[in-house]
Structure 1
Amino acid sequence: MQSGDDEIKEIFLSEAFEQTEELNKLFTHLEKNHTNKQAIEAIFRITHTLKANAAGMGLEDIAAIAHVLEDIFNEIKTDNITLNQDLFNDLFKANDILCALINQVKTPGLPVKFRGIKTKLEVRVKKLKDEASENNLQDAAHTSQAQLNKDYKKPVLKRKSPSKAQLEKASRLTKTILTDAKTGIDMIHAIQALAPSETTDPNPEESIEKEAAKNKPADDTKIVISENIHIPVRKLDNLLNLVGELIIEKDRVIALNGEHGKGRLNEYTRLQRITSELQFSVMDIRLVQVNVLFNKFHRIVRDVAAIENKKVNLLLEGTENEIDRNILQIISDSLVHLVRNAISHGIEPKEQRIRQGKGEHGTLKLSAKSEKNEVIIEITDDGQGIDPKRIAKKAIEKGLLTKENASLMSDEDIIYLIFEPGFSSAEKITAISGRGVGMDVVKKAIDSIGGTVSIDSQTGAGTTITLRLPSSMAMKGALLFELESGAFAIPLSYTKAVIAISKKEIHQIGNNLMTTHLDKNISLIYLNDLFNLKQLSDSGKEKFMLRSFNKSSMDEKLHIIIISFNKKDIGFVVNKLLQQKEIVEKPLCKPLREVKFISGATILGNGNVCLVLDAPAIVNFLFKGSKPSTHQSQFAAETNY
């Protein structure tokens, strides 16, 4: 159970992280348009709020940096200083320090050095104020001189010269007004009091009370409480786990009492409805809009473009679409890498774009849309696209591909080589690219949540990378089937079709099995043979993977689940198809999590444990393998992959 102080701390951290992200976004907008008054006002409000909140929590370091930023934008609001690029660089750095200080509150570590940037900002602001004051004085001097010149040209009227006494009196009055401005103001008030106008209120205090009474609300004792509350994510995760346990228990109760509970059909139906509504309600609470992630990219695009010396405009679309917060967190690093790659590899330098007839500013678009139970995120740039010939050349140089195989592959298949571990098309290593790490990690992250990634690129026109992600990880659709050892499940996101054919419709080519589905050749594998391997290297042994096929009769009907992953289709031969079902998948604990080809487990209504297949791992093993054997190489060659 958390204490009240811990709850307040979590609320502060949640708000503080949102505020620093918003500052990054507003700084980026203001950097492009220095006259954006709305951005200036918003930054001033955010820094003022952050300063007050941090001071209230006793976090003086955070309050000090926020206070300096507040002072800066107060001066900008009043036109006492003007914005320039050096100041923006310091503002971004100060916000990074703020993020580090806030992170330190969350996870204490080494102290964050902040006094350097604080002092630098104070000195820079003082210098800018001095420059602005000097410029204002010069402008005033020029204005006064111009007025004098103008007055000098006016015709001079002859009038009687003032007497010596009049001059002395005027001199004394001028000195008095210039020495003490307050005296001059008091004189004006006195003159106005001696000559009241017709609208002067004879009883101002009574009028003020009447005016206050008019503006007073009907019931000023009413307390308004916000309809929104901050809930730590760990509490939602715990609630979701409990709902998952409830669903499993509900299935077990219905299964156990199914035969003897026919008279309780209405009760079971009501239980089914309530648990389903509870499940979807909890899942809905965990959904967040994708702009939570998209808004971070204003700063990222700005920094990467500056490093690459390129000009890039960021467009965001579909930010109101919702997705599970955990999925958003898992793909955040992948999305950062894709955006950095689009700027580094895709968008050309300004000079090259002008030569090609493009605008000097490149365009990077992040868009999101929802389709059924999926959220589709696209990263689109208008750069030079991906050149298949260049990719093939790099792959051959790195030993990932032979010239013979390259000549047999389509341009689309060659482009997908960028997801191979260690592959990089960069000519030199920079802070952004060229290290051979990244796209394979992106692919693994997307695969781990049951998503897919695809590429559409046109040389000279640009590239679009599409991520298809499940909208929630809490529940997933699965197809249950049976092998000799029991029940298994495979996610529906990888299931393309289910067919039943006879053995005579299967053709043996070397050590591999093939069949035809929708006029396309499909490789087949008996899952029993795969799971009976004592070690993975045995898969290359002669006819080891044909044992079940050779034992079956020619007229036997075979149940096949066709899996599609990474643009590769393969058929899994199983003993029996069971049902399609929504499952709550749980990760395996050590040491079982090291078991190959299994991603997790669920519990069925009969109380039995059902293992969930890791379809991407199986497909990758069959087509590649960590150390390709003769069988695997032949398997890939015969299926034209």
Structure 2
Amino acid sequence: MDSKEEEYREIFLAEALENYEELNRLITELEKNTSNKNAINAIFRITHTLKGNAAGMGFEDITKMSHTLEDLFVEIREGKLQVDAAIFTDIFKAIDTLGALIDALKTGKTVRYLGIKTKLEVILKKAAEAGMPLSTNDNHDSQKKNTDQNQIKQQVENTIPNEDRVVNNEPEKIATEIASDPLNQQVLENTQALLDDIFAAKEILTSEKSAEADTVDTKLTFSDLVQVPVKKLDNLLNLVSELTIERDRIIAMNSNGFSRNEYSRLQRISSDLQYSVMDVRLVQVGFLFNKFHRVVRDAAALEHKKVTLKLEGTDAEIDRNVLQIISDSLIHLIRNSVGHGIETPEERKKAGKSETGTVTLRASNESDAVIIEIIDDGKGIDSRIIKKKAIDKGLVSKETADTMSEADIIMFIFEPGFSSAEQVTAISGRGVGMDVVKRALDSISGNISVFTAVGKGSTIRLSLPSSMAVKGTLLFELDKSEYAIPLTYTEAVVSLYKSDVHKAGNGLIATHLGKTISIVFLKDLFSTADYSHHSQNTIFHTSFDQVNAKEKLAIIIVSYNNRKVGFVVDKLLQQKEIVEKPLMKPVDHVKFISGVTILGNGNICLVLNIANIISYIFKISNTIAGKALC
């Protein structure tokens, strides 16, 4: 059994034991007040759920026992079976047997349950017969059948000295033996009828005896799985984070007098503790993905389209908090794939496609990130339509748009108020939704990209941190202060001479891997709080003009929404995993900073908000370009 199967088994056991305890409580309440409809309905729901879960796990004994109890409470709920003291005795025996079957999954013991199960089935059969209206002829037939069954019962007792033969799957052999007697042939029409009566008679003969033999001892059981509130896990993670910071501080303070090896055990144990706590917070994305079948169905019905949902990689794991934050974003993306991407059945037939479109939700683990892709086989995104809409809405000038790549133009779909739908429907054309996706991803240092082909479909790719607890970052120094950039945005680190960087309009550019990218001195960026007071040639040129021609520039190349920018810093430090804390009031509104951490040397380190910084840079560029054209 692999680790995943063992994990599912433990989860089932925990839920099953919880169901068992709840059944005991509810049936005790019902015994005191047999007209308690809420208790009856709750018992029915629990037995139905337990039956389904056990069937899914392949535990047939628990499935059969739960199914019989479910059938019993269906009759009780519909008023076809009146509960009395005798029935409650049998019900409690059945619940104890169910508990023993659940406990046997851990102990491996054999639990006999057929007796009490059969007895409940006999009770159900009698209730069904009592509720069946009979005519005069029916009464005569019924009396004749009862006489026949009494004869069969006697013959069964004589012919089957070993009662286990019925249980051991020998009914056909038994039927042949009894049917060979001429007396029995007169009262039985065929062998199948004999089979039915054998089991009916056998049930009546052996139910009491087997029920007594299968009695189990009542005892208290405990699950090996403990359910912990997320708040407690968050608090534990915070304490572990504080421990990590203190560890780094102690090692840094004593690095001169002691060998680093002396602290290796402390570092290993604290790291193992940290990752163990992080691992507890991980959940499989299938937990969320399975909820989207209904989302796709409803969206397709509103749009009068035929759409199926395919799920892939549902066993990929991600931090529960990340999953919770992106859940609304995934709803928007799925609905937009149905509303904007998938064509109507008529359009798909004309394009030579199947009438039913497909939306695929795929997840995979990649390094320290989780990749989620929403893929549709629809009409794709036409960048010409996006470009025209963006210009009409004033999001970009025509001159600037003409110089932008197709990938950059498509990213306008994530701007606030943008929509390419010609008509407003229940799920598209209102200009809301996609910008929410972008903001949610920015809040967790995620990234989004779009790949599309007109007439073939689109793929929206989300790159998410697998954990919000620890963040991989690149540390650097600027004006004798330490800063961090999340590795999820970091493309490369390069060193260039001043001669390799050139002025272009109001900014700076350089070539990296054959492509032209913007270069920005972070010192200049932090001094442009109000760019409206700067002329177009002085915003991003100040530090560049002061640099010695022979000086090498340390540049961190970052990427966000298909836009690459090289940030010039004073000094590169190291790559480090940090525990980021959000900014608190009154500095929580600072747009360039996403959070803060404490380094091992005791210094405060600010974490850059790359999403806001790059959006700000291109906003300045577009604004100045617009002023220059006026």
Q: Scaled by the length of structure 2, what TM-score is found? A: 0.70
Of the three residues 242, 259, 270, the one matched with 2:256 is: 259
Q: Secondary structure at the match of 1:240?
A: helix
Q: Secondary structure at the match of 1:629?
A: helix
CA–CA distance in structure 1, aligned partners of residues 335 and 534 of structure 2: 40
Q: Which amino acid aligns with 2:379?
A: Q
Q: Secondary structure at the match of 2:503?
A: strand
Task: Find out whether 1:241 has 2:234 as its counterpart.
Answer: no
Of the three residues 302, 317, 330, the one matched with 2:312 is: 317
Q: Which amino acid aligns with 1:253?
A: I
Q: Secondary structure at the match of 1:467?
A: strand
Q: Secondary structure at the match of 1:480?
A: strand
Task: Find out whether 1:228 has 2:202 as its counterpart.
Answer: no
1:307–1:280 Cα change, 3 Å: same
Q: Which amino acid aligns with 1:356?
A: A
| Count of residue pairs the alignment pairs up | 494
CA–CA distance in structure 1, aligned partners of residues 400 and 392 of structure 2: 14
Of the three residues 318, 331, 346, the one matched with 2:326 is: 331
Of the three residues 461, 469, 477, the one matched with 2:472 is: 477
What is residue 270 of structure 1 aligned with on the other side? 265
CA–CA distance in structure 1, aligned partners of residues 614 and 27 of structure 2: 56
Task: Find out whether 1:571 has 2:531 as its counterpart.
Answer: no
Task: Find out whether 1:458 has 2:418 as its counterpart.
Answer: no
What is residue 27 of structure 1 aligned with on the other side? none
Q: Secondary structure at the match of 1:579?
A: strand
Q: Which amino acid aligns with 1:255?
A: A
Q: Which amino acid aligns with 2:600?
A: G
CA-to-partner distance for each residue in 1:154-208, whole Å, 9 max, x for gaps?
A: xxxxxxxxxxxxxxxxxxxx98653477644543345457767632659999988
Task: Find out whether 1:287 has 2:247 as its counterpart.
Answer: no
What is residue 379 of structure 1 aligned with on the other side? 374
Task: List gaps (5 residues or longer) in structure 2.
Answer: 1-10, 30-35, 50-66, 72-133, 164-201
CA–CA distance in structure 1, aligned partners of residues 396 and 25 of structure 2: 56
CA-to-partner distance for each residue in 1:315-358, whole Å, 9 max, x for gaps?
A: 11110110111111111111100000010111111122122221
CA-to-partner distance for each residue in 1:105-149, whole Å, 9 max, x for gaps?
A: xxxxxxxxxxxxxxxxxxxxxxxxxxxxxxxxxxxxxxxxxxxxx
Matching of residues 49-128 of structure 1 within 5 Å? none
Of the three residues 586, 611, 630, the one matched with 2:624 is: 630
Q: Secondary structure at the match of 1:493?
A: coil
Q: Secondary structure at the match of 1:314?
A: strand
Matching of residues 549-568 of structure 1 within 5 Å? 549-568=544-563
Task: Find out whether 1:447 has 2:447 as its counterpart.
Answer: no
Q: Secondary structure at the match of 1:407?
A: helix
Q: Which amino acid aligns with 1:283?
A: M
Kept in 2: contact 1:562–1:571 (CA 8 A):
yes
CA–CA distance in structure 1, aligned partners of residues 598 and 531 of structure 2: 28
What is residue 93 of structure 1 aligned with on the other side? none
Of the three residues 389, 397, 411, the one matched with 1:416 is: 411
Of the three residues 390, 395, 403, the one matched with 1:395 is: 390
Of the three residues 188, 191, 215, the one matched with 2:148 is: 188
CA–CA distance in structure 1, aligned partners of residues 615 and 436 of structure 2: 14
CA–CA distance in structure 2, aligned partners of residues 401 and 175 of structure 1: 85
Of the three residues 336, 354, 379, the one matched with 1:341 is: 336
1:437–1:52 Cα change, 3 Å: farther
1:197–1:469 Cα change, 3 Å: closer
Kept in 2: contact 1:560–1:572 (CA 8 A):
yes
Q: Per-residue deviation at 1:610?
A: 0.5
Q: Which amino acid aligns with 2:442?
A: D
CA–CA distance in structure 2, aligned partners of residues 49 and 300 of structure 1: 33
Kept in 1: contact 2:498–2:550 (CA 8 A):
yes
CA–CA distance in structure 1, aligned partners of residues 530 and 398 of structure 2: 32
Of the three residues 523, 531, 543, the one matched with 1:528 is: 523
Kept in 2: contact 1:515–1:522 (CA 8 A):
yes
1:588–1:65 Cα change, 3 Å: farther
Q: Which amino acid aligns with 2:264?
A: T
CA-to-partner distance for each residue in 1:57-77, whole Å, 9 max, x for gaps?
A: 99x998798789899999xx9
Q: Which amino acid aligns with 2:624?
A: T
What is residue 178 of structure 1 aligned with on the other side? 138
Q: Secondary structure at the match of 2:488?
A: helix
Task: Find out whether 1:500 has 2:460 as its counterpart.
Answer: no
Worse overlay, 561-570 or 208-217: 208-217
CA–CA distance in structure 2, aligned partners of residues 301 and 553 of structure 1: 59
What is residue 370 of structure 1 aligned with on the other side? 365
Q: Secondary structure at the match of 1:624?
A: helix
What is residue 610 of structure 1 aligned with on the other side? 605
CA–CA distance in structure 1, aligned partners of residues 510 and 155 of structure 2: 107
| Percent identity of paired positions between Structure 1 and Structure 2 | 52
Kept in 2: contact 1:538–1:544 (CA 8 A):
no
Task: Find out whether 1:537 has 2:537 as its counterpart.
Answer: no
Q: Per-residue deviation at 1:369?
A: 1.0
Worse overlay, 334-343 or 541-550: 541-550
Q: Which amino acid aligns with 2:388?
A: K
Kept in 1: contact 2:475–2:572 (CA 8 A):
yes
Q: Which amino acid aligns with 1:424?
A: S
Kept in 2: contact 1:51–1:64 (CA 8 A):
no
Worse overlay, 281-290 or 404-413: 404-413
Q: Per-residue deviation at 1:274?
A: 0.3
CA–CA distance in structure 1, aligned partners of residues 545 and 38 of structure 2: 72
Q: Secondary structure at the match of 1:230?
A: coil
Q: Which amino acid aligns with 2:408?
A: D
Q: Per-residue deviation at 1:530?
A: 1.7
What is residue 97 of structure 2 aligned with on the other side? none
Q: Per-residue deviation at 1:441?
A: 1.6
CA–CA distance in structure 2, aligned partners of residues 405 and 538 of structure 1: 23
Q: Which amino acid aligns with 2:258?
A: G
Kept in 2: contact 1:51–1:62 (CA 8 A):
no
Task: List gaps (5 residues or longer) in structure 1.
Answer: 1-14, 20-44, 79-173
Q: Which amino acid aligns with 2:561?
A: N
Worse overlay, 389-398 or 230-239: 389-398
Q: Scaled by the length of structure 1, what TM-score is found? A: 0.69
CA–CA distance in structure 2, aligned partners of residues 545 and 406 of structure 1: 22
Worse overlay, 242-251 or 497-506: 497-506
Q: Secondary structure at the match of 1:390?
A: helix
Q: Per-residue deviation at 1:497?
A: 1.4
Q: Secondary structure at the match of 1:592?
A: coil
| Structure 1 runs, 4 residues or longer, greater than 6 Å off | 48-58, 60-74, 193-197, 202-217, 220-223, 631-634
Q: Which amino acid aligns with 1:630?
A: I
Q: Secondary structure at the match of 1:433?
A: coil
Kept in 2: contact 1:374–1:469 (CA 8 A):
yes
CA–CA distance in structure 2, aligned partners of residues 50 and 466 of structure 1: 45
1:283–1:241 Cα change, 3 Å: same
Q: Per-residue deviation at 1:617?
A: 0.9
CA-to-partner distance for each residue in 1:392-411, whole Å, 9 max, x for gaps?
A: 22223322244444433333
Q: Per-residue deviation at 1:306?
A: 1.0
Kept in 2: contact 1:539–1:545 (CA 8 A):
no
Kept in 1: contact 2:250–2:600 (CA 8 A):
yes
1:546–1:402 Cα change, 3 Å: closer
CA–CA distance in structure 2, aligned partners of residues 207 and 184 of structure 1: 23
Q: Secondary structure at the match of 1:593?
A: coil
CA–CA distance in structure 1, aligned partners of residues 215 and 622 of structure 2: 81
Q: Which amino acid aligns with 2:334?
A: V
CA–CA distance in structure 2, aligned partners of residues 603 and 442 of structure 1: 30
Kept in 2: contact 1:622–1:632 (CA 8 A):
no
1:210–1:441 Cα change, 3 Å: closer
Q: Which amino acid aligns with 1:505?
A: D
